[in-house]
């Protein structure tokens, strides 16, 4: 993890180009999502008494109905994540004679806190829900609407979302329950 951090910081200005690019894409994505939600509310200001899917191409689900909520939670999460890990006090460590940020110790120390560990894991479940609908919706917006392709994309989106959510929620839970501590100078619980 520290070698990866060292590699990223060695990119110098390219790292800032990537960060700014991600910020622009993230902002555009949030703007479009908020615009869709506002237009939906304007088109139908009263709520449905009963939510039900027509099945097939509508793909209405809890995931699709909670996109605005999960998006806002993910936005807040990204700010906290950047503040904690990219801007947090990392300390330093020597690697191959070079001093670099000690991200590994920061990650292990941070995930010893149950609020961070389980909060992060919960947000990763929300990320899975957001991606589960979002991937299919993105391809549908690009006019890939045939029933066969749509069903395949929906399934692939859900599988990808599950893999991402489980993969990322595993890290804080593993560390919280003592994983990774044996290779760290940090005193774990």
3-state DSSP of the chain? CHHHHHHHHHCCHHHHHHHHHHHHHHHHHHHHHHHHHHHHHHHCCCCCCCCCCCCHHHCCCHHHHCHHHHHHHHHHHHHHHHHHHHCCCCCEEEECCEEEECHHHHHHHHCCCHHHHHHHHHHHHHHHHHHHHHHHHHHHHCCCCCHHHHHHHHHHHHHHHHHHHHHHHHHHHHHHCCCCHHHCCCCCC
Neighbours of 31 (CB within 10 A): 10
pLDDT band at 162, cuts 50/70/90?
very high
Does the structure show a pLDDT above 60 at 56?
Answer: no
What are 9-28's pLDDT values in tens digits? 899 999 999 999 999 999 99
The answer to whether 101 and 89 have CB atoms below 8 angstroms apart is no
**Looking at residues 158-183, what average pLDDT do you find?**
88
pLDDT of 173 above 90: yes
pLDDT at 52: 63
User: Can you tell me the distance from the alpha carbon of 185 to that of 182, in angstroms, rounded to the nearest whole number?
Assistant: 8
Per-chain mean pLDDT for the chain: 85
Tell me, what's the pLDDT at 1? 86
pLDDT above 70 for 127:
yes
The pLDDT of residue 39 is above 80:
yes
Confidence band (pLDDT; 50, 70, 90) for 100?
A: confident
CA 158 – CA 132 distance, rounded (Å): 4
pTM above 0.85, yes or no: no
pLDDT of residue 13: 95
pLDDT of 138 reads 81
pLDDT of 59 higher than 90: no
Angstrom distance (rounded) from CA 118 to CA 150? 34
Instruction: State the average pLDDT over residues 142-169.
Output: 84
What pLDDT score does 179 carry?
A: 79
């Amino acid at each position: 993890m520290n070698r990866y951090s060292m590699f990223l910081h060695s990119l110098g200005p390219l790292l800032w180009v990537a960060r700014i690019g991600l910020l622009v894409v993230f902002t555009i994505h949030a703007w479009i999502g908020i615009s869709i939600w506002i237009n939906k509310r304007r088109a139908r200001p009263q709520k449905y008494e009963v939510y039900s899917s027509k099945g097939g191409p509508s793909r209405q689900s809890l995931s699709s109905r909670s996109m605005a909520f999960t998006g806002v939670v993910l936005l807040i999460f990204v700010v906290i994540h950047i503040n904690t890990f990219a801007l947090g006090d990392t300390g330093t460590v020597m690697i191959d004679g070079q001093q670099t940020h000690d991200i590994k110790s920061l990650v292990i120390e941070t995930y010893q806190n149950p609020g961070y560990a389980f909060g992060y894991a919960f947000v990763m479940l929300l990320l899975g829900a957001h991606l589960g609908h979002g991937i299919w919706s993105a391809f549908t917006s690009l006019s890939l609407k045939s029933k066969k392709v749509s069903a395949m994309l929906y399934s692939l989106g859900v599988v990808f979302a599950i893999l991402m959510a489980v993969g990322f929620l595993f890290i804080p839970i593993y560390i919280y329950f003592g994983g990774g501590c044996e290779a760290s100078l940090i005193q774990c619980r």
